[in-house]
Structure 1
Amino acid sequence: MKLHSYDINKNYKTSVAYFSMEFAVDQALKIYSGGLGFLAGSHMRSAYDLKQNIVGIGILWSFGYYDQGRNEDRTLKPNYLRKFYYFLEELEQKVTVRIENSDVVIKAFLLHPEVFGTAPILLLSTDIDENDYLSRTITHKLYDSNERTRIAQEIVLGIGGLKVLEAMNRKVDVYHMNEGHSLPLVYELHSRLKDTQKVKEHVVFTTHTPEAAGNETHRVDFLEEMGFFSSLTKEEVASLCSCHKEKLNLTVEALRNSKRSNAVSKIHKKVAQHMWKEVPDSCEIISITNAQNKKYWTDKTLIRALDEHEDYELQARKKHLKKILFDEVANQSGKMFDPDIFTIVWARRFAEYKRPGLLKYDLRRFEKLLANTQMPVQIIWAGKPYPTDSGAVSLFNDLIYMSHRYKNIAVLIGYELSLSRLLKQGSDLWLNTPRITREASGTSGMSASMNGSIHFSIDDGWHPEFARDRRNAFTIPPVDHLLGHDEQDRIDNKNMMDILEQKILPTYYENPKKWTKIMKNAMTEIDLEFDSTRMAKEYYELLYEYKIEEGGKD
C-alpha cells in the first residue's frame, strides 16, 4: 500500500519511521497532551512540505489525554469522552503482540497526508472487538497512571508499530524514537538481527527533558514479565543493557542502542551530555533545536502586514486578534478584557518546575501591578496539569480562586491547539518561567513570537539561541541553579517584576513605535532558525543520514 500521496523529494529518500506517543496536528485529532505532541505535529507538517520519505507511528487514544471541564466552583474537572475520527482510514492489517503472556491484537488506522497537510501517520489501537476488555483499555488514555498499562502502551507503540510496518511491506531504513517510549522496538530488532551494531545502524533517538518523569525507570523483572523485551531471554537482555539486572532506564538504553541522538536545544545538549556522561557505550548526543511550523501557527493577515511594512495595519490586526481571544475570555469567565490594555499570557503544561505561579510569588507587589491604572495589565493563565498530579491541579485551582477576586485575571480551560493558537496570536507578552537548566526547549514561545507576542523568559531552553534583549525579546537574567528553590524563586521574581515594571510596560504604553519595532524584529528573526522546515532538514542531515563510522563523541 502506498502511504505517501506525494512524490518523495530525491534529497529525502531514506525511509524513516518516526515513533511518538503523541502527535498534535489538528484540534480535531485529540491524541496529544502538550509540547512533545506539538513538536511532533510541526515535524510531520514540515515533512509534508519538504516531501520527505517519513511515516509517523503513534497510538489512536480512544479517550485522548483528558478534556478540561469545571466543577460547580469553577475548579478543574478532568473529563474522559470517547472520541471518533471518521477522517481516518481503517486498514486491513492486524498484528499481534505478546503482553503479559497474552496475545493482543493491534489494528492500524491511517491519517492520509492531504487531510491536515502532514506526512502519513499510522495510529495503532487495541480497542477493537478481537481483544478482551483489559486489552482494549491499553489504548484508552494517553499516559495512563497505571504502570502496567503504561508499559503495555509502550510495547504496542514499539513492537506493534514495527510489526504493522512489516505487515504493510514498508521498508524502513531508520527508526526514530521521539523520547524513549518506543524502546521495545529496539529489542524486537535485536531478536531479529542478533547484532548490536546492525541494530544501532537503524535507530536514532531524541531526548526531550532532564526531568525524572520523562526518563522512565522500571524493574527489569517487571518489564520481562510484561513482554517489553520481545522474545529475548533474560540472559540476552542482561548482555544488552546496563541495568545490572535490577532496573532499566528507558533513556539510558535508548542512548546505548542508537547510532546517534539529539537534545532539543544547545543548552539541553550540554545538560544531557552531563546527565548521561556515565552511560556505557552511549551514542553521541548532538543538538537539533526544536521548532514550530510557521505556516500552521501564524495569522496570515498579520504576516502580510509585516511583509508590506505597514505598521498601522500590523497594530490594527494585533488588536483585532486580541478581541478574538477576549471573546473566549468572556465566554469562559464572564470578564470583558480591553484590547487596548497590555495582556500577559502564561500557557503551557502545568508542572512544578515550570513555575506557573512565579508571577504572584511576591503577592503584595503582584497586587500592586494589578491595581496600576496608569499602565494597566491583563493576565491569562492556561494549561493542562497531569490529571493525577495533585500538586499541579491544586496550583491550577489556586489561580482560579484568585481570579475570582480580580477583574483583570482569567484562567482558561481547554488548552489544546485551537486555544493555544488564540493565546499566541492575541497576547502581547508570552511569559516563560522555568527553573534554570530544567527547560530542555520550551517551544511555545516560538509560535508566540511568530505572531508578535514578545517572549519574556528565563534564559533557558531555546531562548538564548534567539533572544536579543529588548530588541526581539526580554530576558530574565540567570541565577545560580545550585541555589535552593525558594531563593531561586525570590530572585527570579524580583528580576522579572523589575523588568516588567521598569522596561516592558513603559515601552508598551509610552513608546508604541518601539514596541512595534520589537514585535517586527521578533516576527522576522524567529523565521531564521525556528521554523520547523529547518528542523526537519537537520533531522535528515544530522541523524537519519549519519553513518556511525563517520564520527565519534563530541
Structure 2
Amino acid sequence: MKAIRRFTVRPVLPEPLRPLSDLARNLRWSWHTETRDLFQAVDPEGWQAAGGDPVRLLGSASAVRLAELAGDRRFLRRLAAVADDLDDYLHGRRWYQAHSGSAGNSGTTGPEFPAAVAYFSPEFGVTAALPQYSGGLGILAGDHLKAASDLGVPLIGVGLLYRHGYFRQSLSRDGWQQEHYPLLDPNELPVSLLREPEGSPARVSLALPGGRSLHAHIWVAQVGRVPLLMLDSDVEENGPGERDVTDRLYGGGSEHRLLQEMLLGIGGVRAVRTYCRLTGHLAPEVFHTNEGHAGFLGLERIRELGEPPESGGQGLDFDSALEAVRAGTVFTTHTPVPAGIDRFDRELVARHFGDRGELPGVPVEKVLQLGMETYPGGEANLFNMAVMGLRLAQRANGVSTLHGAVSRGMFAGLWPGFDAEEVPITSVTNGVHAPTWVAPEVFRLGARQIGTSRTEDALSVGGSERWDSVADIPDNDIWELRRDLREQLVMEVRDRLRASWRQRGAGAAELGWIDGVLDPDVLTIGFARRVPSYKRLTLMLRDRDRLMELLLHPTRPIQIVVAGKAHPADDGGKRLVQELVRFADDPRVRHRIVFLPDYGMAMAQKLYPGCDVWLNNPLRPLEACGTSGMKAALNGCLNLSVLDGWWDEWFEPDFGWAIPTADGSATDEDRRDDLEAGALYELIENRVAPRFYDRGAGGLPQRWIEMVRRTLTTLGPKVLAGRMVREYVERLYAPAARAHRSMDADAARELAAWKARVRVAWPQVAVDHVEALEEAAAEGTAELGATLALRVRVALGELQPDDVEVQAVAGRVDSDDAIADAQTSPLKPAGGPDLEGRWVYEGPLCLDRTGPFGYTVRILPAHPLLAASADLGLVALPTEATGEGAGVLMR
C-alpha cells in the first residue's frame, strides 16, 4: 500500500545531546574526522546503514539508545570537546582575517579584501549526503566552499536544490547504462529552510511570459563557516511546469535549462539579498560566476542599480550599471571546447525578458547584445552564456595554465585586433580540499609525524615546510600504509561488484568468483571520471591482447578499477561504458579489471587512496584541469597522464609519468589513438610495473616509495584548494573589491560615457607614420643593448592624448614577422596637434635580445578604471604605408 503523503518525523534529542543536532547540520562533519568518529559512536551499525550521514543516523536512532548516551559521561565529554572545537572553528580568526585586516565578527574588513563574496555554481559536491553534483565542476565548487571556510573567507554559495539530483547509475545484464532518479526530501537532508521573522518560508519570485510566475524557497546548507543557498521550485504556489524547474541537474530541453539558469542567476541574487536581510550577513562586494550557467546574475544586478534611489538603487542607465556590475564580477570558465557551453536560441531568450517577462526595466536588445556571438565564426541567432559571462565580468580565468591559454584562443574573437596571449583571461589552477579527500589512515600517519594540529594546517592552509616532514617517515611505514589502503579498496570493490551483479540479475550461485577479484599485492591502476568521448574511457582497449598480457603478466601483473557516468542523453558515451563493461565481464580477466557503476563521492573517497597509479588519457588539450589526479596524489598515488590540465603544469618524472601524445593535425583520430594507446602500454610494461615490483632491502620497492614521498612533498602543497582560494582572493577577489569600491554611481556614469565616446571616435584613430631615428636601424641591423629612438605620428580624431596610450611593441620575430614574447613600452606626446590635427609621440626602444627582432606600434584606449588595455577590444595598428614598422635584425 502506498502512502498518499510523506513527511519526516524528527527525533527529540535529550537535552545533554542537543549539540549533536548542531554538529549534524553543519557539513564540516564531512571533512572532520573527530566529528564523524563521534557520530559513529552513537550507533556503529546505524552509522553504516545511514551511509555516514548524521542527519539520517539521528533520524533512525532509538529513544533507548539516545537516553543511554545522555547518561554516558565519557560520550558527553567527547561531545562537548567536538562542539567546542566547532565553535572555535566557526568564530576564531583565520587566514583571511589575519591577512585582510578584518576584525572578524565585528563586521568590518580591511582595505584590501572584500567584505563578502557571492559564489554561484549550478552544482555543488560537498558530501554524498547532499547529492547535488554530477562531476568535476560540482566537486570543485564544493571544495571551493570548504577551503574558503577553512581560510575564513566570507563566502556565500548560491546554487539550486534538485529534487532528483543527478541520476543514479546501474547496469543492465548486457552492460548498458541505466539511469534512476530517486526523489530527495529536503527534510531528510542536512539543510534548513530559510524563514521570515514570522516563520513563513522566505522565497524569491521570477516573472515568466504569459503572466506566470516562478517561485522558489531557499534552503541553507551550512558548509563550515560558509552558507550555501539552494533554490527549490517545488513549492505549492507554482504550476506543474514551474514546480519541475529544479527537478534534475542538467535535465530537460532548452527552455527548461534556460529557466534553471534564470532562477540560478536572477533568483540567486535575490536569495542573497534575502539571506543578508534576514541574518545580518555582510552584503557581497564581489560576485563570482563559476561557469556560464549563472551568468544572468549580472542582469539582476544591473536591474538593481537601475532602480531609483528611493527604491534602493542608484538610478543608473543600462550602460552605467553594466560598468558598475563588471567592476565587482569574476567569471571562471571550465570549458575547453565551444560545444560544452550552453547556448540558447535568441528568440527564446528575448521571450523571457522585457515587459512580458523578467527584468522589465532592462532593454531586451541590451540583454541580447551581451550574449550574441558577434565575432568571426559565431552564430548570429544563438545566445552564448559564456560570452555573456565574459562581457559581464571585468576579471576572468581558466582553471589551469594550459586551459587559460586554450580559453584565450577560444574567446579571442571578443577582442579583435589582439593576439591571443593578450586576451584578458588569466588562470587559477584548481585545487582539491585535502581534508575531504585524504584517507584517515594517511592523516593519522601525518599526525604521528608532526602532530594533529600541524597536519590539519598542512592540509587546509598549506605550507611546504609542513609537507617536507614526509621525508622523515620511514619507508616501511609508507609501504605498509599503501598496502593497507589497497587492501581496503579490494574489499570495497568486491562489495560494490557483488551488489552491481545482483542488480544485473545474477543469483548468489553465480557470484563465487567475486571473492577472488583483485589482489591487495598487485599494482592497482584507477580510472574514474565522467564519460564524454574526449576523456577516452576505452583507450586502454585499443589493443585488447596487449592489455590482457599486462593484466595477466606472470610476475608483474596489473589490475584496473574503472568507474564513470555517461550523460543520460549521450548514447555514444553509454556505448563506451558498455564496451568497457563487456571486456571486464570476460572470465579470463574479470579478476583483474572491474567497472564499478554509480561513481560518486562516497566511492571516490575509497578509490583515490587505494590505487597506486591514477590514469588520465584525454585528448590534449581538452582537459580543463582534471582534479581527480590531485586527490589521488594527496594519498600517495602516482599519476600516469597525458600532459593536459594541471599535469601539463606540474609534471616531473620524480612523481609520475607523462603519456606521449600525437598532436599533429595530420594524424587522423584512429592513428592518433593507436599511437597514444601504444605509448600507454609501453609505459606500464617497461617503466611503471617494473618500478613497483623491483624490490630492494627488506622487500621494499624503494624507488617507488621515493616517488610516493616526492609526490606528497612536492605536489602536496600545490594541489590544495586552500592554495587555490588564496589565489582567487589575492589575484581576483581583492582587485574586484577595489574596483567595486571605486565604481560609485558617478564613476560608472563617467566610464560608460567615456567608452561610448571612444567607440564613436575610434574609426578616426590611426597610426600615420613610424620612424626610428638611428641609422643602424634603417640599415636593418643594430647592436645588443642599443636604444632606438622612435617617433610616431598619430591621428586621434575627436579624442585627446589622455584618452589613449601609444605603445611600442617589440620582441623576437619568426619567418612571418610575427612578434613572440612581446614586450610593450609607452610612448609620450612630444607635440601637437599640428595643422592637420596629428600628434607626435616619441620614446626609446631598448634592444635587449639577440637574433631576429622586430617592433610595431599601436594605439589603445586608456582610462584609469579599465582593468585591461584590451577591455574595449579596440586597437589601431600601422598599415603597410605607415612607415618603417618592423624587422630590425640584431647581432
Q: Once the two structures are superposed, what CA deviation does each residue of 1:284-331 show, in whole Å capped at 9, x if it has no partner? A: 211100000111111243244364502212211221111221112212
The one of 678, 691, 696 equivalent to 1:494 is 678
Q: Distance in 1 between matches of 2:693 and 2:369?
A: 65
- In the TM superposition, 1:275-294 aligns within 5 A as 275-280=410-415, 284-294=424-434
What is the aligned partner in structure 2 of residue 224 from structure 1? 350
Q: Please identify, of 304-313 and 372-381, the stretch whose mean Cα deviation from structure 2 is larger.
A: 304-313
What is the aligned partner in structure 2 of residue 416 from structure 1? 600
What is the aligned partner in structure 2 of residue 108 from structure 1? 218
Q: Once the two structures are superposed, what CA deviation does each residue of 1:250-294 show, in whole Å capped at 9, x if it has no partner? A: 111111110100100001111111111111499721110000011
**Counterpart contact for 2:207–2:358, Cα < 8 Å:** no
Q: Distance in 2 between matches of 1:411 and 1:398?
A: 11
3-state SS of paired residue (1:278) = helix
Q: Please identify, of 18-27 and 181-190, the stretch whose mean Cα deviation from structure 2 is larger.
A: 181-190
Number of residue-to-residue matches in the alignment: 548
**Counterpart contact for 2:114–2:734, Cα < 8 Å:** no
The one of 190, 195, 206 equivalent to 2:332 is 206
What is the aligned partner in structure 2 of residue 443 from structure 1? 627
Seen in structure 2, the aligned counterparts of structure 1 residues 304 and 481 have a Cα distance that, compared at 3 Å, is: farther
TM-fit CA distance, 1:414: 2.0
Seen in structure 2, the aligned counterparts of structure 1 residues 145 and 134 have a Cα distance that, compared at 3 Å, is: closer
Residues 1:476 and 2:561 aligned together:
no
What is the aligned partner in structure 2 of residue 270 from structure 1? 405
What is the aligned partner in structure 1 of residue 690 from structure 2? 506
TM-fit CA distance, 1:105: 0.5
- In the TM superposition, 1:386-465 aligns within 5 A as 386-405=567-586, 406=589, 407-465=591-649
What code does the residue aligned with 2:204 have? Answer: V
What code does the residue aligned with 1:91 have? Answer: L
- In the TM superposition, 1:175-186 aligns within 5 A as 175-186=287-298
The one of 243, 254, 259 equivalent to 1:136 is 243
Q: Distance in 1 between matches of 2:388 and 2:569?
A: 28
Q: Please identify, of 497-506 and 184-193, the stretch whose mean Cα deviation from structure 2 is larger.
A: 184-193
The one of 213, 222, 236 equivalent to 2:366 is 236
What code does the residue aligned with 1:70 have? Answer: L
What code does the residue aligned with 1:385 have? Answer: A
**Counterpart contact for 2:128–2:600, Cα < 8 Å:** yes
3-state SS of paired residue (1:112) = strand
TM-fit CA distance, 1:73: 4.1
Q: Distance in 1 between matches of 2:441 and 2:722?
A: 21
TM-score by length of 2: 0.59
What is the aligned partner in structure 2 of residue 376 from structure 1? 557
Residues 1:120 and 2:227 aligned together:
yes
Q: Once the two structures are superposed, what CA deviation does each residue of 1:138-192 show, in whole Å capped at 9, x if it has no partner? A: 1010001421111111011000001111223352211110000011112222233
3-state SS of paired residue (2:150) = helix
**Counterpart contact for 1:223–1:229, Cα < 8 Å:** no
Q: Which has the higher contact order (CA 8 A, sep 6+)?
A: 1
Q: Distance in 1 between matches of 2:159 and 2:266?
A: 12
TM-fit CA distance, 1:371: 2.4
Seen in structure 2, the aligned counterparts of structure 1 residues 507 and 5 have a Cα distance that, compared at 3 Å, is: closer
Seen in structure 2, the aligned counterparts of structure 1 residues 372 and 280 have a Cα distance that, compared at 3 Å, is: same
Q: Please identify, of 245-254 and 219-228, the stretch whose mean Cα deviation from structure 2 is larger.
A: 219-228
The one of 192, 197, 222 equivalent to 2:304 is 192
3-state SS of paired residue (1:138) = coil
What is the aligned partner in structure 2 of residue 67 from structure 1? 168
**Counterpart contact for 2:525–2:613, Cα < 8 Å:** yes
3-state SS of paired residue (1:140) = coil
**Counterpart contact for 2:168–2:181, Cα < 8 Å:** yes
TM-fit CA distance, 1:356: 0.7
3-state SS of paired residue (2:250) = coil
Seen in structure 2, the aligned counterparts of structure 1 residues 150 and 375 have a Cα distance that, compared at 3 Å, is: same
Residues 1:88 and 2:88 aligned together:
no
Residues 1:318 and 2:482 aligned together:
yes
Q: Distance in 1 between matches of 2:370 and 2:143?
A: 34
What is the aligned partner in structure 1 of residue 206 from structure 2? 97
What is the aligned partner in structure 2 of residue 78 from structure 1? 179
What code does the residue aligned with 1:109 have? Answer: W
3-state SS of paired residue (2:663) = coil
Q: Please identify, of 529-538 and 311-320, the stretch whose mean Cα deviation from structure 2 is larger.
A: 311-320
Q: Distance in 1 between matches of 2:350 and 2:658?
A: 47
**Counterpart contact for 2:394–2:867, Cα < 8 Å:** no
What code does the residue aligned with 2:612 have? Answer: D
Identity %: 30
Seen in structure 2, the aligned counterparts of structure 1 residues 208 and 89 have a Cα distance that, compared at 3 Å, is: same
TM-fit CA distance, 1:333: 2.7
3-state SS of paired residue (2:524) = strand
Q: Distance in 1 between matches of 2:731 and 2:869?
A: 14
TM-fit CA distance, 1:74: 5.0
Q: Distance in 2 between matches of 1:545 and 1:367?
A: 54
The one of 511, 516, 519 equivalent to 2:708 is 519
TM-fit CA distance, 1:118: 5.7
Q: Distance in 2 between matches of 1:287 and 1:497?
A: 33
Q: Once the two structures are superposed, what CA deviation does each residue of 1:13-49 show, in whole Å capped at 9, x if it has no partner? A: 4311100011111110100000001111111111000
3-state SS of paired residue (1:451) = coil
What is the aligned partner in structure 2 of residue 154 from structure 1? 261
3-state SS of paired residue (1:284) = coil
**Counterpart contact for 1:437–1:481, Cα < 8 Å:** no
**Counterpart contact for 2:174–2:578, Cα < 8 Å:** no
What code does the residue aligned with 2:148 have? Answer: A
Q: Distance in 2 between matches of 1:29 and 1:162?
A: 22
Q: Distance in 1 between matches of 2:370 and 2:612?
A: 51
- Structure 1 gap ranges (5+): none
What code does the residue aligned with 2:479 have? Answer: Q
TM-fit CA distance, 1:458: 0.2
Seen in structure 2, the aligned counterparts of structure 1 residues 497 and 240 have a Cα distance that, compared at 3 Å, is: closer
The one of 357, 365, 370 equivalent to 2:538 is 357
TM-fit CA distance, 1:235: 2.9
Q: Distance in 1 between matches of 2:866 and 2:368?
A: 29
3-state SS of paired residue (2:518) = coil
Seen in structure 2, the aligned counterparts of structure 1 residues 5 and 415 have a Cα distance that, compared at 3 Å, is: same
Q: Once the two structures are superposed, what CA deviation does each residue of 1:361-389 show, in whole Å capped at 9, x if it has no partner? A: 12221222222111111111101111121
What code does the residue aligned with 1:149 have? Answer: H
Seen in structure 2, the aligned counterparts of structure 1 residues 276 and 74 have a Cα distance that, compared at 3 Å, is: closer
Q: Distance in 2 between matches of 1:390 and 1:241?
A: 30
TM-score by length of 1: 0.94
Seen in structure 2, the aligned counterparts of structure 1 residues 234 and 481 have a Cα distance that, compared at 3 Å, is: farther
TM-fit CA distance, 1:69: 2.1
- Structure 2 gap ranges (5+): 1-25, 27-88, 101-112, 196-201, 306-317, 375-379, 417-421, 447-469, 499-513, 696-700, 740-864, 871-891
The one of 118, 124, 149 equivalent to 1:17 is 118
What code does the residue aligned with 2:287 have? Answer: Y
Mark the structure with the bigger radius of gyration: 2
Q: Please identify, of 317-326 and 34-43, the stretch whose mean Cα deviation from structure 2 is larger.
A: 317-326
What code does the residue aligned with 1:156 have? Answer: L
**Counterpart contact for 2:611–2:637, Cα < 8 Å:** yes
3-state SS of paired residue (1:296) = helix
TM-fit CA distance, 1:226: 3.2
3-state SS of paired residue (1:322) = helix
What code does the residue aligned with 1:383 have? Answer: G
Q: Distance in 2 between matches of 1:28 and 1:462?
A: 29
Residues 1:42 and 2:154 aligned together:
no
What code does the residue aligned with 2:592 have? Answer: N
Seen in structure 2, the aligned counterparts of structure 1 residues 238 and 126 have a Cα distance that, compared at 3 Å, is: closer
